[in-house]
Structure 1
Amino acid sequence: MNANPRRSAGIRATSAVASAAALVLLTGCGTGVSGGSDGAAAADQQQLTIENCGREVTISGVPDAVVGMSPSQTELLLRLGLADRIVGQAQVDTTALPADIAGVAADIPVLSDAQPPAREDLLAVGPDFVYSPTTYEFTAEQGFASIEQLEEAGTAAYVATGGCFDRRMEGTVDDLFVDLENLGRIFQVEDEAGKMIDTAEAELAEVAAALDGLDKPKVAQVYIEGTSLSAIGAGIEYDILRLAGADNVFGPQDAAFSDFFAAQISPESLAAAAPDAVVFAARNPAQEQAARTYLTTTFPDLPAVANDRLIAISPADTFPGTLGNVSVVRQIAEQLYPEAFAG
């Protein structure tokens, strides 16, 4: 597995049993050790300090009441083999879980549909660990539980690395590997997490090898809501296109994306960019069809439209901290370069 400097820098582990003072602290907080082997006792007392979004998150013991704050996060937890530890799943209407694990999640309580769960609903299930794609899910002004409120309740809040507020503009696909390594240590499933990292890295390497030496098409990534048109020019979304072999027509160097990874644009600016392909996010078939209709009727002369290179992706695959960050790279690459993946 290739070394990733951010991966090892993102986590520091300390053992509570290595210090008598730490052991006294844990016992005083009600974290006792039940009977069993010495190895089991050590696992119960494990204390990790994670650096996450510029703060330190201390986790004592392996969490056993976990909430996935979006289907993407819930999927990752399930694939790590943590189904018996998940006490809630949220924002379930934003995307469907993959068919092969949807049944596993059938009995997990649903805390919210299209929005993050209300503070009361989240705290009602008594979580000791919450995994979120972004910091938005902890916006108290929206009625959600803040990180501080969760800490007061004894709940560790972890935000996907690429979804940290200060990193949202610069996030990359391999931020996912930081999260997998962190989760592996937190839940003592390092082997499972390592295998997932190896598989993802191999898939990205395979795509890169297939595209080596090929001319890059100009690609625009947009989001369409009715007749409102926005372009994506930074963050994980930008890195996804880069890894898929695209020459992004919008990028972080553009003034429009100096403060946010997306910006509303005029139809004229997209027409002037003349992309060879357009990638757009759609939550469902109806939204995909509406976006295709808008693009084909508004830009009939656009190379992407004339050559039928309109590529729909799931917005969930661009959420930070999801396996979709990797699979969508291949999805886009295969449609940009069908000849490179034929056979």
Structure 2
Amino acid sequence: MKKTLLFGTALSVALLLTGCGSSDTKTAEKSATQAQYPLTIQNYSRADEGASWEKKDQVFDRAPERIMANTRPAAELLLHLGLADKIVGVGADFGVPDPSVADQYAKLNILSKEYVGKEVTLGTNPDLVFGRSGLFADAEWGVGTVDALNGMKIKTYVLESSITGGTYESIYKDIENIGKIFNVKEEADRFTKELKDKQAAISAKLEGIKDHKTFAYLHTNDPKELYVYPASDESFFNDAFSMIKLDNVFVNEKGDVSIETLIAQDPDVLILPQWDETDLNKVREEIYANPKVSSMKAIKNKQIYIVDYNYLFGYSYNTIDGMEQLAKEIYPDISSN
């Protein structure tokens, strides 16, 4: 009888102590979370399309609960940090998917295949609008300006990678900031390491290439309209290509580029963007057969490459996947080792 009583008393005390320990842990975790807020994150704002981006702080009293991501790559970045349950809407659902988060992405509220406007954005009742800088505008395809959204008590986060001067390195700053805003530092650190390891692996494989190739970007899906986009102000775009030893031949060109100028510059490589269902393999073959550009090295050497639009202008982590894929096509012998 005494043994039973003593055992019961001991068990009760043990359970009580365990409960206290668990309670203390939860209290400590809650206190640690509360201690980081209010949190000030330096971000950006501009009056509207065409204006310069200026620094603007965003102050978070707590982690946002309802995120509207203005592009597919923006949403996929959030998924890698374990924030699926906070995403209430996704705009611009186009481009190559990231298979590693495809199952989670399929469950999200997709607002449109195209860019979405302010009305649709506000219809998700967000407390944070997140993503590509160029879409923070009052145009019909824009989610609204940063100042307008902030004026409605909606926080904003403009990807640093997508503003003028942004580079692939900016992605790491974006991930770090998201880790702070949502208190998911562990996930942010893990994903940063994953991307840096991939970037280092690409650099190691191409280390032996000393001479960079030149390229030009043809913003077209019609072989009869070879529009050359110089992309001189696209710092993220140009930095991404430099990862794989490609230099934009028109990086210093501020005006329009004619076909005659393209022919005269004679870059080693031509890039075609895939942004819709057009069969670009057919377009490429027709460009190869175009007598007007037949003298170019890229035509003679069959050096036209197709790259998904989001890899080029999604300003997100998955650009490295596009560059890795492109490197394998341009340098098959080196990249396969």
Q: TM-score, normalised on structure 2?
A: 0.80
1:241 touches 1:332 (CA, 8 Å); kept in 2?
A: no
AA matched with 2:284:
R
Q: Which moved more, 1:39-48 or 1:60-69?
A: 39-48
AA matched with 1:277:
V
1:183 touches 1:193 (CA, 8 Å); kept in 2?
A: yes
The equivalent residue for 2:33 is: 43
AA matched with 2:68:
V
1:224 touches 1:291 (CA, 8 Å); kept in 2?
A: no
Q: How does 1:161-310 map to 2 (within 5 A)?
A: 161-164=160-163, 167=164, 170-214=165-209, 215-226=211-222, 227-231=225-229, 232-233=231-232, 234-251=234-251, 254=252, 256-257=253-254, 264-286=256-278, 288-289=280-281, 291-298=283-290, 299-310=293-304
The equivalent residue for 2:108 is: 108
1:71 touches 1:91 (CA, 8 Å); kept in 2?
A: yes
**Distance in 2 of aligned mates of 1:247 and 1:145:** 34
**Distance in 2 of aligned mates of 1:163 and 1:155:** 20
Q: Residues 22-81 of structure 1, C-alpha deviation per residue, up to 9 Å, x if partnerless?
A: xxxxxxxxxxxxxx6243144246221111121111111111111111000000011111
For the aligned residue pairs, the C-alpha RMSD in angstroms reads 2.2
2:89 touches 2:111 (CA, 8 Å); kept in 1?
A: yes
1:73 touches 1:322 (CA, 8 Å); kept in 2?
A: yes
The equivalent residue for 1:24 is: none
AA matched with 2:113:
D
The equivalent residue for 2:69 is: 68
Larger of the two Rg values belongs to structure: 2
**Distance in 1 of aligned mates of 2:193 and 2:82:** 17
The equivalent residue for 2:16 is: none
**Aligned structure 1 segments of 4 or more residues deviating by more than 3 angstroms:** none
Aligned-residue offset at 1:247: 3.6
**Distance in 2 of aligned mates of 1:146 and 1:341:** 43
**Distance in 1 of aligned mates of 2:67 and 2:294:** 49
The equivalent residue for 2:311 is: 317
1:44 touches 1:62 (CA, 8 Å); kept in 2?
A: no
**Distance in 2 of aligned mates of 1:77 and 1:138:** 18
**Distance in 1 of aligned mates of 2:218 and 2:105:** 32
How many residues are paired up? 293
AA matched with 2:158:
V
Q: Verify: 1:139 aligned to 2:137, yes or no.
A: yes
Aligned-residue offset at 1:282: 1.4
**Distance in 2 of aligned mates of 1:102 and 1:206:** 24
2:176 touches 2:185 (CA, 8 Å); kept in 1?
A: yes
Aligned-residue offset at 1:228: 4.3
AA matched with 1:147:
V
1:161 touches 1:320 (CA, 8 Å); kept in 2?
A: no
AA matched with 1:40:
K
Runs of at least 5 residues in structure 2 that lack an aligned partner in the other structure: 1-25, 45-54
The equivalent residue for 1:56 is: 57
AA matched with 1:84:
D
Distance 1:108 1:57, change over 3 A: same
Q: Residues 168-220 of structure 1, C-alpha deviation per residue, up to 9 Å, x if partnerless?
A: xx321111111011111111111111122112222222222222232322322
Aligned-residue offset at 1:288: 2.0
2:41 touches 2:58 (CA, 8 Å); kept in 1?
A: yes
Distance 1:287 1:158, change over 3 A: farther
Aligned-residue offset at 1:277: 1.6
Distance 1:102 1:213, change over 3 A: closer
**Distance in 2 of aligned mates of 1:149 and 1:224:** 34
Q: TM-score, normalised on structure 1?
A: 0.78
Distance 1:107 1:211, change over 3 A: closer
The equivalent residue for 1:29 is: none
**Distance in 1 of aligned mates of 2:83 and 2:196:** 22
Runs of at least 5 residues in structure 1 that lack an aligned partner in the other structure: 1-35, 258-262
AA matched with 1:37:
T
Q: Residues 82-104 of structure 1, C-alpha deviation per residue, up to 9 Å, x if partnerless?
A: 11111111111x32532342331
Q: How does 1:86-101 map to 2 (within 5 A)?
A: 86-92=87-93, 94-101=94-101
